[in-house]
Structure 1
Amino acid sequence: MIRSSFLYVLSITVLAACGTDRVQYTSELKQEMADSKIKRITDVDLNETIDDIGGRASKAIQQDLTAALEKTTDPAERAKLCQLQSLPRAKAIAAQYAVDIRLVGAGDIQNKSLSQKEREILEAYLYNAKQKLPPISNIQKVNDTLFVYNVALPADSPVCEACFGKQDVPFAVWRLAFSKREVVRRMNESKKK
């Protein structure tokens, strides 16, 4: 009798321990399992995905920022807009693609929080702006897990002056930093199913 009561209590305890917590983590567990599968992804695949997402995201945010800047002349509000704090679309894109989005300028060439490679790219973009060359996008692999997509804004963009003041050469660059893991996830969701 004692043994059967003990087994009954033990089985109730085990069943209670397997409660609803397991159901709550099913989608997270599924994602983790999908992430841990071995996949063959080339650098070309990564670059194409980053170029696609970065190009679409930078164009969308630039349109929103330009439109928002045209609506205000308040310097404090413009500064906030240039930090992308008041742009819902920028926040949504950053959350959707797990990307760090920033607008950088000539002063960031000396910014030690950016990697040496990134500062060199900014310097090259500034040189191109001085030579009046058309802006092109660039993808830089900073380390094994971080990729940075950059594209310079056109010299006639109102964003250059609004966010960085009067400059000898109008200059601003979109910087989108992607985690390799998140890029691979997006590839799995779109074309690698």
Structure 2
Amino acid sequence: MACNPERVHYTSELKAEMADSKIKRITNADIIETVDDLGGKISTVLEKELTTQLLKTTNPAERATLCQLQNLPRAQAIAARYAVDIRLLGEADIQNMKLHVKERDILDAYLYSAKQKQVPISNIQKINDTLFVYNKVVPANNPICDICFGKQETPFAVWHLGFQKREVVRRMNSSVKKKSS
């Protein structure tokens, strides 16, 4: 009974779990660099997709659904593939108590920069030991600001991409394997 070869099933989940349990030396700088790279690419794709879809319709209900990032196939696929929490935040979210205080402070700083007509850069915050949040401001002239957040005194929208540390490390492993092959 103990020598039964069917006892262990090598599934892709088991292989991933075994790879995750290997000891690796990864610095915070490595993680930040990976989050910055992924966040930049993902936010660019999302912004392009959302802008394209918003300009295809004038139906307010359809636009509201799109602004909630629903009915965006690429956004859903990216969220599933990278296990990333994707949100589009606006000025009202500065008061959203569901967001971590660091995130609200960053939004407030971004809004201040927008009011001063400064071009803000992307930002990465380590929220806790397991969560990194990548933020990127949507350009003020992008239709997303107007359509999703109405006519504001200062056009303002920010991409929020929440990355789990474990998933980032997994991405780093797969990119290291590809580079060495």
Partner of residue 22, structure 1: 8
Paired with 2:5 and 2:58, the residues of 1 have a C-alpha distance of 57
Higher mean C-alpha displacement, 28-37 vs 171-180: 28-37
Counterpart of 2:107 in structure 1 is 122
Per-residue Cα deviation, 1:90-149 (whole angstroms, up to 9, x for no partner): 011111111010000000001111000000000000000001111310000000000000
1:159 match: 144
Alignment of 1:17-56 (within 5 A): 22-23=8-9, 25-56=10-41
Question: What displacement does 1:191 show?
Answer: 1.8
Q: How many residue pairs get matched?
A: 178
Separation in structure 2 between the aligned mates of residue 39 and residue 182 of structure 1, nearest angstrom? 14
Does 2:150 correspond to 1:188? no
Aligned ranges 1:90-105 → 2 under 5 Å = 90-105=75-90
Q: Which residue of 2 aligns with 1:142?
A: 127
Is the 1:64–1:87 contact (alpha carbons within 8 Å) kept by the matching residues of 2? Answer: yes
Query: Per-residue deviation at 1:27?
Result: 2.0
* Higher radius of gyration, 1 or 2: 1
Q: Any gaps of 5 or more consecutive residues in structure 1? A: 1-10
What TM-score do you get using the length of structure 2 for normalisation?
0.93
Report the secondary structure of 1:189's partner residue. Answer: helix
- The CA deviation at 1:33 is 1.2
Cα RMSD after superposing both structures = 1.5
**Structure 1 CA distance, aligned partners of 2:120 and 2:47?**
14
- Counterpart of 2:59, as a letter, is D
2:8 match: secondary structure: helix
Q: How does 1:43-122 map to 2 (within 5 A)?
A: 43-122=28-107
2:161 maps to 176
TM-score normalised by structure 1 residue count: 0.88
Query: Can you give the 5+ residue segments of structure 2 that lack an aligned partner in the other structure?
Result: none
Q: Secondary structure at the match of 1:191?
A: helix
Q: Is the 8 A contact 1:146 1:179 kept in 2?
A: yes
Q: CA deviation at 1:19?
A: 7.8
SS in 2 for 1:85: coil
The percent identity for this pair of structures is: 66
